[in-house]
Structure 1
């Protein structure tokens, strides 16, 4: 699916990719849902992938809250830069390694809904006009939301599907 270019496309792409991802997760028998991925991947199982998505939703929600209050959020997170994403993602994986799968499913569902409320409350222009908000720099709010929803869900679907084939 091409990158969303409008509010309508963002809502649909995000929800469709999320539904596809969760449909894939729910289609696995219980034993396979807990199966470890092949070595060499940071996220070791479905829980890790869903916890990763949830934590990135939380980062987006924090950026949005701080940014819309006229302040500059730490991006991607305090103590990290975009160049240190692997380190941040390892930290996320480590902090969530004892989270039960069912809790990860509930958390990602809840945070997905919160992100969608942000999308729904903004106009197309507010979402896709570059430089509209100081905190988003040279890009648009929509670009951050795409990265945290439709694109991220597509990545998650592909890694789960690839890791659990056979």
Structure 2
């Protein structure tokens, strides 16, 4: 398993859970009325960060479901090519735009649990050996574990940084409006 990010399925699962809890917890002090507010220097709103995660995590699990059912796997998604990720992400924002922040958080919690259940159902070999699934491709270093990492742990960490920056920018904007800065 050279070049692998994790030594075992257990280690992967624990890292997903740890980074999920840290990221999701950042939303505890964000009010629903601010879910779509933009802050200078942050490219996504709080709702968009959650919609992005919901979209990608469900998409990856769909790839797996489709392959297991013998269906064609359209990657990254039906109607989109890999050079159209911006429009694909926009489709996620649109899909989840009518949800409250609380509903998004609840969906995110459910999706993270489904993600964990899916990982639990996989063998170490399925996770760590290249080519165990057609949807993972044949490019060296892209075993299923890497797809899981780049669609959970990595964005959970980067979005946690962004949501913290968003909250700091939101506070600064409020201070400016209140004449405190």
Residues 72 and 152 (structure 1), Cα distance of their counterparts in 2 relative to 1, 3 Å cut: farther
1:90-101 paired onto structure 2 within 5 Å: 90-101=90-101
Q: Deviations over 1:42-83 (max 9, x none)?
A: 522x22211221121211121110122344411111111121
**Which residue of structure 1 lines up, in the alignment, with residue 161 of structure 2?**
158
Q: How many residues align?
A: 163
**Is 1:57–1:148's contact at 8 Å kept on the other side of the alignment?**
yes
Q: Which of the pair has more CA radius of gyration?
A: 2
Shift of 1:31: 6.9
Rounded Cα–Cα distance in structure 2 between residues aligned with 1:101 and 1:29 = 8
1:30 maps to what in 2?
Answer: 31
Unaligned runs of 5+ in 1: none
**Mapping for residues 11-160 of structure 1, pairs under 5 Å:** 11-26=13-28, 28=29, 30=31, 34=35, 36-39=37-40, 41-44=42-45, 46-138=46-138, 139-160=142-163
Go from structure 1 to structure 2 and tell me whether the alpha carbon gap of 1:36 and 1:123 turns closer, same or farther (over 3 Å shift).
same
Q: Distance in 2 between matches of 1:100 and 1:132?
A: 38
TM-score, normalising length from structure 2? 0.80
How far apart, CA to CA, are the structure 1 residues paired with 2:58 and 2:137?
20
SS at match of 2:26: helix
Structure 2 residue matching 1:115: 3-state secondary structure: helix
Unaligned runs of 5+ in 2: 172-181
Indicate how the Cα distance of structure 1 residues 4 and 32 shifts in structure 2: closer, same or farther if over 3 A, else same.
Answer: farther
Q: Equivalent residue of 2:92, what SS?
A: helix
Identify which range, 65-74 or 85-94, moves more after superposition: 65-74
Does the residue aligned with 1:66 lie in a helix, a strand or coil? Answer: helix
Distance 1:113 1:49, change over 3 A: same
